[in-house]
Amino acid sequence: MKDEEIDDVLKKAAQAPQDLDPLVLERIGDLIKPSLRPVRPLPPVWLMAGGLVLVCAAVSLAGAARAGFFGVAKMNLLERSLVFPALGLLACLAAVSFVHRMIPASRLRVSPGALVVLSSVALLAVFARSFRDYHTDHFFSAGIACLLTGLLHAIPAGLLSWLMLRRGFAVNPASAGLVAGTLGGLAGVGMLELHCPNFQAAHILVWHTAVVPVSAALGALLGWELRFRARSAGR
């Protein structure tokens, strides 16, 4: 059987009379009418994404201001010009992706999973190029402290981002959470780069970079939980 024949069969099937009860349509109209008032469409994508990047930058700067700008002060010009622009670009990408996730039927250029992988790999590449001290002192104790500090800044950044886009509607809250978590994670890494004076390659490659996937996983979990709760409430 040829594809054209299957097309014909599908068309014939679709043209079959459909007995949608007019009362159903009337009831829908009646339900909608009382609350029908003008609504303001969402702002342009670039504006919302810009706002998200600013929120994340503010969280990173506030955290570093409280803890001290020791990391950025210790960096040389090459390290600064590699690390911060890369973080900025990744944050822009994550912010745009998050905005698209909060608009139904928005065209997605990067899948949420790919965004997490891309962010992590890009950070690894930048850090590997920038930091060449291969000593490893207090690998776990110092590393876990940095991971926790990064996450403590990633969580408010992710939550503030979610709050900023609360007017949007995520058709898939788990993947929206994953992207919000990635964005928050980048804010956490930003704070660590501003603050952490430990330039050992292993420390930065493992523990600083880990903030992004861990934060993304937490975001996805939160999104999944929100959807589960919404579904349970709808029962």
Partner 1 sequence: MVRYQEGDFGAAALLIDRISPRLHRFFLSKSMSRADADDLLQETWLRIHKVRHTYRPGESALPWFYAIARHIRVDHYRKSIRAAAGERELEEMSKGVSSAPHQAGELEALLAPLPESQREVIAMLKVEGMSLEEVACATSSSVGSVKQKVHRAYKKLRETIGAKAPRKWRSGGLA
As a whole number of angstroms, the distance between CA 230 and CA 60 comes to 32
As a whole number of angstroms, the distance between CA 123 and CA 129 comes to 10
The torsion defined by the Cα of 52, 56, 61 and 66, in degrees rounded to 10, comes to: 130
Q: Which is nearer to partner 1, 31 or 163 (CB)?
A: 31
As a whole number of angstroms, the distance between CA 161 and CA 184 comes to 8
As a whole number of angstroms, the distance between CA 32 and CA 102 comes to 23
- The contact set with partner 1 (CB under 8 A) reads 1, 3, 5-7, 9-14, 16, 18, 20-21, 24-25, 27-29, 31-33, 35-42, 102-108, 111, 167-169, 171-172, 175, 231, 234-235
Q: Which is nearer to partner 1, 75 or 179 (CB)?
A: 179
Q: Which is nearer to partner 1, 36 or 77 (CB)?
A: 36
Shortest distance, position 185 Cβ to partner 1, whole Å? 22
Shortest distance, position 94 Cβ to partner 1, whole Å? 17
Phi, psi of 200 (to 5 degrees): -70, 130
Shortest distance, position 187 Cβ to partner 1, whole Å? 25
Shortest distance, position 36 Cβ to partner 1, whole Å? 6
Q: Which is nearer to partner 1, 62 or 103 (CB)?
A: 103
Burial of 109 (0-12, 13-18, 19+ CB in 10 A): exposed
User: Where would I find the H helices in the chain?
Assistant: 3-14, 22-32, 45-67, 70-74, 77-101, 112-130, 139-164, 173-195, 201-203, 209-233
**CB distance 89 to 118 below 8 Å:** no
Q: Which is nearer to partner 1, 118 or 214 (CB)?
A: 118
Shortest distance, position 146 Cβ to partner 1, whole Å? 34
Shortest distance, position 164 Cβ to partner 1, whole Å? 14
